[in-house]
Structure 1
């Protein structure tokens, strides 16, 4: 990596735009997780010098060894970026003073009371303020309620530094659109929404992102960009809730919701297929809608539609549990208490290791509360990591999926349909299988022991 530009004579906006457009600037990315690390690699690949920052010192250490901790980010890609000299990672935030742009990619979870938790954004902003120098561009990428950049980040930076946004430094919001495990889209190929705090900030942010993403989509303000991200995720949450409700209705009628969706999606217009499941998981869909419902209360507006969708999706683990109880009673003449249940798939979606907000964790605790003995199998999650809400599950390890191990269980619950699972062995085991993802029938596997859920 070349030497970052030291603090010195401030560049004009035109000069800074030219630096960004030509890839001659140094970028700092705070947060080296599912959003920050792909962003670092994409920017480094486009010619920027990139410094990744993280409070977890193990992450920079791992990356500087040319290794990875995210299964969808190849170690070879990390090693190549480090070898090129374009990328380095550190836990020392003093390096922020030397970069030209700072991109914030930190978590925005909910509190236990389901209110926005901006503690990571606030702490990060304070760290930036201690090193902020005139002319730097600061971009928030973390998903949050409309107005956060303008009402939280800007006032903090201005109060702590005495500098003014749009005059002394530049501020923008550009929401992450990562989809881990999606082989069709990457950071560089997904269009980037960009909203600036003023025209100069917008120009700088557009020049920055246009260097390494397929297309930038400029909007009129940071709040509009924040609202765009929430709208995307609320759209998915509401439509998933709709098909989940249809699943419950059609199940009571003896109608296969999966067959209905497959038939409906043959219509070439006016229908977009969404698929039911055991509940919502991940860092976006279960959380982001509540950022808007919380903010809407400030304006005296009840977000009934969004909250109803959240309520329906939160009820789905209960529906799955009921299906399992009925299946055990009908096929084995036993209840949950004392039954051995194998959960297949712990991650929140297929072919990744991310278990954040995974419905599998909720189901696990619900089963244990009813007296069941629970194990899991997941090729992407060899051991359960630390979680905020499910601390008691930490350290549990994945059970091997063999004919011998399957025979020891009274039922198998397919929660996540990873490709690298021997579904034929599950189907042929004769054990009761409650399939929440249509994983067996979509592969042509059927049997009297298979129960759709």
Structure 2
């Protein structure tokens, strides 16, 4: 008698044989590296995005993500293992569908799950028995179970019976050359035992280390915990910076000395504010969810207040420095902001404090421009529409001397700091960029 395989066993077999077809929705900083990693492990992968310009770039072999070199992109495309499309009808061809879409906050710091819900609606249109649907977007604990599953089950198909559902938090770190998608341990969880096995099998085929946890809510909490830990500790060192500044103590020297302790201490560094798609946003997903349980999240909220206040503190220090050293008010000054990206050596400007710094300088009547070797022009953003289209100022002696002050917001390695020290009348350094390079000067001030 022939024994029919269950849907999960069939998919497990296809994963083991690399015959499963994977789909990745959202080809940004998370989705494109994941799609290429899965393709390089032997699977056929279709990438989906609503932005036709990304598809055109991919078809031309032109990567817009630093973590995916052109050669790697074209290699997987040429082998026929990766293709990209705006046609979501092709989701029907995919055995595994991974969701990598944004999860921003509203202006009231409430979760905006509209990208997830719209994506799930599109998946539901072609959902079929035997598919594995995975959410990677960062969100509050319970989203997979409370938001994703009900949308998909409106089709009449049931999770853990007809289709399988899982969550695996993304852990991308743009600009980090020591870790890549395949080498970063992957936390995975499934809705039910069969989904859990499928999650381990699929990700285990693409990455070096898989870390199973007991539920999708636990996996969602893991991601939030990682970024809350960073947000709270960055807020602590930012607060210490302000206190030690008043005492005449250099916070950078303090941290460098403290980190020599081989146990019980982990260094975090101050800055002009938080940026990126994770740390400024993710903690507030938990503060929002905690209201459902009538529980306060005082550490998280206080950290948010401190980190959000840093751009204003920096502009205050800038104004003070202009007054003391040049006898000039900020309202009559021209300021060159070095670094538009939220972190060094990447072109990513999401939630970058540099945008807020420019806005605050101009609110106080000053004039601001920027230089960034990785960002030639300010693209459209949700909060800073007035800055769209501004272009990076070239770093020449003539251009730098046309400004009253230079504000180091992001310490890109490609910047010539020694030249800046010679040319700029005044430098306010929020990243300790000059001291770390052994460049001194009477008008280089830390902030």
Task: Report if TM-score (shorter chain) is over 0.5.
Answer: yes
Structure 1 residue 73: deviation in Å?
2.2
Runs of 4+ in 1 over 6 A off after TM superposition: none
Task: Give TM-score, length-normalised by structure 1.
Answer: 0.97
What SS does structure 2 have at the residue aligned with 1:50? strand
* 1:15 is aligned to 2:10: yes
* 1:29 is aligned to 2:24: yes
**Distance (Å, rounded) in 1 between the aligned partners of 2:16 and 2:417:** 49
What SS does structure 2 have at the residue aligned with 1:440? helix
* 1:349 is aligned to 2:343: yes
The residue that corresponds to 1:155 in the other structure is 150
2:235 to 241, 265, 269: 241
**Distance (Å, rounded) in 2 between the aligned partners of 1:412 and 1:405:** 11
Equivalent residues in 2 for 1:162-311 (5 A)? 162-311=156-305
The residue that corresponds to 1:93 in the other structure is 88
Structure 1 residue 12: deviation in Å?
3.2
How many residues are matched?
A: 444
Structure 1 residue 171: deviation in Å?
0.2
* 1:419 is aligned to 2:396: no
Contact between 1:13 and 1:204, CA under 8 Å: does it hold in 2?
yes
Deviations 1:131-170 (A, max 9, x none): 00100000000000000000000011101x1100000000
Contact between 2:335 and 2:367, CA under 8 Å: does it hold in 1?
yes
What SS does structure 1 have at the residue aligned with 2:332? coil
Structure 1 residue 14: deviation in Å?
2.1
The residue that corresponds to 1:332 in the other structure is 326
Deviations 1:326-362 (A, max 9, x none): 1101110011112000000000001111111100000
**Distance (Å, rounded) in 2 between the aligned partners of 1:315 and 1:265:** 26
The residue that corresponds to 2:129 in the other structure is 134
**Distance (Å, rounded) in 2 between the aligned partners of 1:107 and 1:158:** 23
Contact between 2:405 and 2:424, CA under 8 Å: does it hold in 1?
no
What SS does structure 1 have at the residue aligned with 2:407? strand
Equivalent residues in 2 for 1:105-144 (5 A)? 105-144=100-139
**Distance (Å, rounded) in 1 between the aligned partners of 2:91 and 2:192:** 23
Deviations 1:44-87 (A, max 9, x none): 00000000000111111210111111233211111111111100
The residue that corresponds to 1:6 in the other structure is none
Structure 1 gaps, min length 5: 1-8
**Distance (Å, rounded) in 2 between the aligned partners of 1:73 and 1:162:** 39
What SS does structure 2 have at the residue aligned with 1:307? helix
* 1:399 is aligned to 2:399: no
Contact between 1:10 and 1:135, CA under 8 Å: does it hold in 2?
no
Structure 1 residue 430: deviation in Å?
4.1
Larger mean Cα displacement after TM superposition, 243-252 or 15-24: 15-24
The residue that corresponds to 1:4 in the other structure is none
2:426 to 423, 432, 441: 432
Contact between 2:406 and 2:424, CA under 8 Å: does it hold in 1?
no
* 1:77 is aligned to 2:72: yes
Q: What is the root-mean-square deviation of aligned Cα atoms in Å?
A: 1.0
What SS does structure 2 have at the residue aligned with 1:211? helix
Equivalent residues in 2 for 1:437-452 (5 A)? 437-452=431-446
